[in-house]
Amino acid sequence: MNKTFASFLNIIWFIFVGIVIASISIYLIIISNGYRINWAAKKIIQNGMIFLKTDPKVADIYLNNQLKLTKSPARLTDLYQGRYDIRVTKDGYFDWKKTVEVTAGLATENEDIVLFLKNPQQLPVIQEETDSFNKLPSKFLNTDLEIRSEAEIWIKEYKNNDDLLVTRLSIPIKKAAYYSDKKHILFQTKNRISVMDLDGSNIIKLAELNSEDSVEFIVDDSGQFLYYRDKEEIKKLKIH
């Protein structure tokens, strides 16, 4: 009788262990394929992901005000579908902020995050830089950017030959030009030169001019230095 009961317990034990192993295996397969169990809703849903690349690479990355990573490229995984607040910070730089939409099974990418200095440093301009700046053709500053209705910036034939509205401000825009990566736009309003993301977000003032006259400005290929004409003087700022 005791042997029969012991055999029965062994069978129950092996069945239990088998169920546990099978459950863990199924769970791992679900997780590894980008799915997640929503216990509250009692169903399996597919996850989304946010991919970020910042410049500088070493920066604090927050998701809904919680610090997640301290350098990029960065992947924020295992996210439910929905909207998330992203913030990238670094001492001495302006914060970058955006609310992004995460879709199940897809990666939401923000690969062109550039942080700009809070206190740009004015540097001396050498003669070679002055000569190069004076040779800039005015058409180079405009390219496919267009100011419409005095306060709108458009990119002509952005996708599928359709024009893209970047921003609409409440004050006139005097001039617009691309940042070095063509993923940001420099623009002048009143006596300020500012920069913004290609979708019109994260507007940051880079330089303040001595007048509200329209001026020429450009950023070098590295994206670190802003050159602009203020009155008759050519100035150089380290902005990144």
What pLDDT digit, counting tens, does each position of 204-233 carry?
999 999 999 999 999 998 999 999 999 889
In percent, the amount of the chain with pLDDT more than 90 equals: 63
Q: Which residues of 196-211 are buried (b: 16+ CB within 10 A; e: fewer)?
A: bbbeeebebebbebee
Does some domain include residue 163? yes
Does some domain include residue 38? no
What pLDDT digit, counting tens, does each position of 103-143 carry?
888 889 999 999 999 999 999 999 999 888 887 765 455 56
Q: What is the pTM for the complete model shown?
A: 0.80
Q: Are residues 234 and 126 in the same domain?
A: yes
Q: Residue 70 is part of a domain; what is its CATH number?
A: 2.60.40.10
The reported pLDDT for the residue numbered 23 is: 60
The reported pLDDT for the residue numbered 33 is: 54
Which residue range(s) make up the domain with 230?
121-238
Dig out the tokens for 81 from the structure.
């579908």
Mean pLDDT of all residues in 81-87: 95
Q: Are residues 109 and 125 in the same domain?
A: no
Calpha distance 21→15 (Å, rounded): 10
The HSE-up count of residue 187 (CA atoms within 13 Å, CB side) is 27
Asked which of 78, 94, 114 is the last residue of a domain, the reply is: 114
Task: Tell me the one-letter amino acid at 13.
Answer: W
Does some domain include residue 39? no
Mean pLDDT of all residues in 16-24: 67
Q: Are residues 234 and 125 in the same domain?
A: yes
Does some domain include residue 40? no
DSSP 10-50: HHHHHHHHHHHHHHHHHHHHHHHTTEEEETTTTEEEE-EEE
- Matching residue, tokens 């550039």: 114
Q: Are residues 157 and 212 in the same domain?
A: yes
